[in-house]
Amino acid sequence: MFRTFRGGQSGGWRVTSMSPVTGEPLPFMPALSVTDSDAVALPVVPSRNAWRLIGVPSSLRYTERAEKQQLVAMQAGLGRLEATSAALIPIRKSQAWWDLTQEERRKIFEDRSHHIASSMRFLPAIARQLYHCRDLGEPFDFLTWFEFSPAHASLFEELVGMLRRTEEWSYVERELDVRVVKEVLSA
C-alpha cells in the first residue's frame, strides 16, 4: 500500500506552515491531501502547482523485540477525532549514513541517540507513522506523519526539538517541516 502526500490547492488538511529545516525547500502549497492506494505512477512528473511525495509503511527497523512490544502497547493509531493537527516531516539522510552497516546505524539510532527510549514519553499523545521511500526513487528517504490534538502542540515541539539534537540527526542532509490542520467541512 502506497501513501501519497500531495501538496496542492485543495485537500483534507490546510497547510499552516512549511519550512525547510535543512536543505532545499519544496514550493509552498496551501493544502495537503493524504491518500492510500495499491499502485502509483512513478516517476513523479514535476509541477509548479503541486508536489507529491510517496512512501510505503514497512517493518520496524533498528527496533528490538522488547522495544517493539512497548511501542505497540503505548502508541495511538492515526485518524483519532481529536487529532486535528499534524506534521509531515520528510527526511533524507547522507550517503555516510547509508554507508554504515545496519548494526552501526542501530548504535547511533538507539544506543547513543536514544530515539525510541526518549520518544516513549510522548505516547500516546502523539501518533506517528513512518513511510519509507528511498528505494522508490523519491527525493527523501523517509516521510514521517505525526497526528496530535492542538492541546499537545507544545509536546510535539518538544519531541521534534529533542530528536533534532541527537547524533542521528547529524546525518540528515534534507528535512522539511510541514504543519497542517484538519479541514472541517461546514454543514
DSSP string, 127-184: EEEEEE-GGGT-S-SEEEEEEE-GGGHHHHHHHHHHHHTSGGGGGEEEEEEEEEEE--
- Give me the pLDDT at residue 69, please: 85
Q: Taking the chain (187 residues) in consecutive chunks of 10 residues, what is each chunk's mean pLDDT?
A: 94 96 95 92 71 87 77 89 97 97 91 88 94 92 97 97 95 98 75
What pLDDT sits at residue 42? 62
pTM of the model: 0.91
Buried/exposed 92-111: b ≥16 CB within 10 Å, e otherwise: bbeeebeeeeeeebbebbbe
User: What pLDDT score was predicted for residue 22?
Assistant: 96
Rg, C-alpha atoms of the chain: 16
Rounded Cα distance, 142 and 86, in Å: 16
pLDDT of 13: 97
